[in-house]
Amino acid sequence: MNTEIQNIKQRFEIIGNYPGLDRAIEKSMRVSPTDITVLVTGESGVGKESFPKIIHQLSHRKHNKFIAVNCGAIPEGTIDSELFGHEKGAFTGATSNRSGYFEVADGGTIFLDEVGELPLTTQVRLLRVLENGEFIKVGSSNVQKTNVRIVAATNLNMEDAISKGKFREDLYYRLSTVEIKIPPLRQRKSDIILLFRKFASDFAKKYNMPTVRLDDDAQRIMQNYRWNGNIRQLKNITEQLSVLEQERGISGAMISSYLPNPKNNLPAIVSKSDGQSDFSSEREILYKILFDMKKDLNELKKLTNNLKKNPPSNPSEIDEIENFITQNFNEHKKPSNLESNFLEAEKIELKDDKYSFAEEVVEEETLSLQDKELELIIKALERNKGRRKAAAKELGISERTLYRKIKQYDLEI
């Protein structure tokens, strides 16, 4: 079996000797001769796309079509048409009949990447294909048959998605007849240097330059780094080093300058509350706190500015002002820890003149969740150089949602 695994690694250019990786390859080889539905799981960037190819090429379907579909990259309104096809006139723009992937790949294999991003309505259609091999084109009433093997992949926690109602439990159990888990790169410490050498050699040939090499300190840093982007991130860093560094010997100091937060190797704490959504309720609460504080602060500044320009002339006016301040600013409950943190950021440094902070004419700020949402999307896209998948991950939303937001705000990417 070890010889067979090594042959598979060479054939599909899989590098590494980690036992968990070998186990994943072995499972792929064992299920290949069957028509069992397979679910490949693992973090983004671990190389999940290689395993459906292994399963297809070692199966009796290898001479038929293999179609890979990125479910997260297809807009929700067109994914049913892409997968199952449509009839002429089924919707605006449907000027002719179209065959979907399940019809085109009949007798072959379909790889559904990012299957966790499928809309619930599409999940129902997919479940029917898995149960009895039937599907209906969009706009048609005729039931069609297909003999397709489905291999799916996801980087989501499926149990969490099921508990939140984002993925059907019955579909999950049909997809995961056999589940193949791909280990993250941080668990494959001994493979990191092997992968680096392979990528460095490839880029040296591509750019016609000497190969970069790591010294002992650089190797230690690479092996202890968390690699949240896994193999994809390692390949990206290797390419940067190959192109940007004049020295071909890479030191620890040099590699550290390319790694984001190289000392932060602890796993991030991710909330699992049921209230989490595309733009979580917690984020909206933070916005609301900020907006309310801004509003109160502007009111206070305006009042102080008026007091400075028109000081009260009699005691009754002073009493009225005190009552106004008490009713509007002193009746609030003691702020929470979260609010206190924001209040610290809004402290006003008083000078000798007790009204000096009101020197400027304060204009009412127009803040809205929509403006902040647009600002966050633009910043995330700029920071990730237009890569939608990376930007969506940073924003905590799905790639399809980000695609819809880009169209909504007419952003040019």
DSSP 99: E
Q: For residues 177 and 149, state if they share a domain.
A: yes
413 residues of the chain, pLDDT tens digit each: 688 999 999 999 999 999 999 999 999 999 999 999 999 999 999 999 999 999 999 999 999 999 999 999 999 889 999 999 999 988 888 889 999 999 999 999 999 999 999 999 999 999 999 999 999 999 999 999 999 999 999 999 999 999 999 999 999 999 999 999 999 999 999 999 999 999 999 999 999 999 999 999 999 999 999 999 999 999 999 999 999 998 999 999 999 999 987 555 545 444 444 444 444 455 556 666 676 676 677 777 777 777 666 766 665 556 666 666 665 555 444 444 544 554 454 444 434 444 444 444 344 444 456 777 788 888 888 888 888 888 888 888 888 888 888 877 777 66
User: Are 53 and 12 a contacting pair, CB within 8 Å?
Assistant: yes
Q: For residues 72 and 130, state if they share a domain.
A: yes
Q: Which of 183, 211, 236 is the last residue of a domain?
A: 183
CATH number of the CATH domain containing 243: 1.10.8.60
DSSP annotation string for 380-409: HHHHTTT-HHHHHHHHTS-HHHHHHHHHHT
CATH number of the CATH domain containing 392: 1.10.10
Q: Which of 231, 256, 281 is the last residue of a domain?
A: 256
Helices (H), 208-266: 216-224, 230-244, 252-256
The residue segments making up the domain with residue 39 are 2-183
**What's phi and psi for 131, nearest 5 deg?**
-75, -45
Q: Which of 256, 271, 303 is the last residue of a domain?
A: 256
Q: For residues 245 and 154, state if they share a domain.
A: no
DSSP 138: B
Q: For residues 17 and 165, state if they share a domain.
A: yes
228 falls within a domain: yes
DSSP 29: H
CA atoms of 183 and 172, how far apart (whole Å): 20
Residue 177: partners with Cβ closer than 8 Å, 6 or more residues away: 36, 37, 38, 39
Q: What is the pTM of this model?
A: 0.63
Q: For residues 57 and 124, state if they share a domain.
A: yes
Q: For residues 177 and 194, state if they share a domain.
A: no
User: Are 114 and 154 a contacting pair, CB within 8 Å?
Assistant: yes
> What type of residue is 265?
N
Task: With CA atoms as reference, report the closest residue to 65 among 74, 54, 52, 56.
Answer: 56
288 falls within a domain: no
Calculate ∠ Cα 134-139-142, nearest 5°. Answer: 40
Q: For residues 138 and 171, state if they share a domain.
A: yes
Q: Which residues pair with 361 in a beta bridge?
A: none
Q: For residues 159 and 22, state if they share a domain.
A: yes
Q: For residues 159 and 193, state if they share a domain.
A: no
